Amino acid sequence: MAIATADLQREPAKTSSGLSQLDQLKRYTRVVADTGDFGTIKEYAPQDATTNPTLILKAAQMPEYKYIIEKALAESRQGAGSGEEALQDVYHRVLVLFGVEILKIIPGRVSTETDAHKAFDVEALIDEARHFIELYQKHGVSRERILIKIASTWEGIRAAERLQKEGINCNMTLLFSLVQAVACAEAGAKLISPFVGRILDWYKKSTGKDFAPADDPGVRSVREIYAYYKKFNHSTEVMGASFRNAGEILELAGCDLLTISPQLLAELNQSHDPVERKLTPEWAKTQDVKKLSLDEPRFRFLLNEDAMAIEKTAEGIRLFAADSRKLWQYLRERI
Q: What is the pLDDT of residues 276-289, one digit of tens each?
A: 999 999 999 999 99
What is the C-alpha to C-alpha distance for residues 323 and 301, in angstroms, rounded to an integer?
29
Residue from 234, 226, 228, 232 nearest 255 by CA: 226
Catalytic hit among 26, 149, 278, 312: 149
The vertex-335 CA angle with 85 and 136, nearest 5°, equals 60
| pLDDT-derived band at 63, boundaries 50, 70, 90 | very high
- Look over the chain and give the mean of its residue pLDDT values, rounded to a whole number: 93
What is the C-alpha to C-alpha distance for residues 304 and 296, in angstroms, rounded to an integer?
12
| pLDDT-derived band at 9, boundaries 50, 70, 90 | very low
Residue 149 annotated in active site: yes
Task: Give the residue with greater pLDDT, 154 vs 18.
Answer: 154
Please compute the mean of the pLDDT values over residues 186-213 and round it to a whole number: 98
pLDDT the model gives residue 81: 57
pLDDT greater than 70 at residue 52: yes
| pLDDT-derived band at 3, boundaries 50, 70, 90 | very low
Handedness of CA 113, 118, 119, 125 (dihedral sign): negative
pLDDT the model gives residue 18: 82
pLDDT the model gives residue 13: 40
pLDDT greater than 60 at residue 2: no
- Residue 175: how many CB atoms within 10 A of its CB? 32
pLDDT greater than 90 at residue 4: no
Task: Give the residue with greater pLDDT, 79 vs 314.
Answer: 314
Fold held by 20-332 = TIM Barrel (3.20.20)
pLDDT the model gives residue 334: 85
Of the candidate ranges 11-25, 208-222, 258-272, 302-316, the one whose mean pLDDT is the lowest? 11-25
pLDDT greater than 50 at residue 1: no
% of the chain residues with pLDDT over 90: 89
279: region left, alpha or beta (phi > 0 left; psi from -120 to 50 alpha): beta
- Residue 63: how many CB atoms within 10 A of its CB? 6
What global pTM score does this model have? 0.92
> pLDDT digit string (tens) for 298-308?
999 999 999 99
Phi, psi of 232 (to 5 degrees): -105, 20
Residue from 68, 41, 37 nearest 55 by CA: 37
Please compute the mean of the pLDDT values over residues 316-329 and round it to a whole number: 95
> pLDDT digit string (tens) for 38-48?
999 999 999 99
Q: Where are the domains of the chain?
A: 20-332
DSSP summary character for residue 273: S
| pLDDT-derived band at 76, boundaries 50, 70, 90 | confident
> pLDDT digit string (tens) for 218-254?
999 999 999 999 999 999 999 999 999 999 999 999 9
pLDDT the model gives residue 223: 98
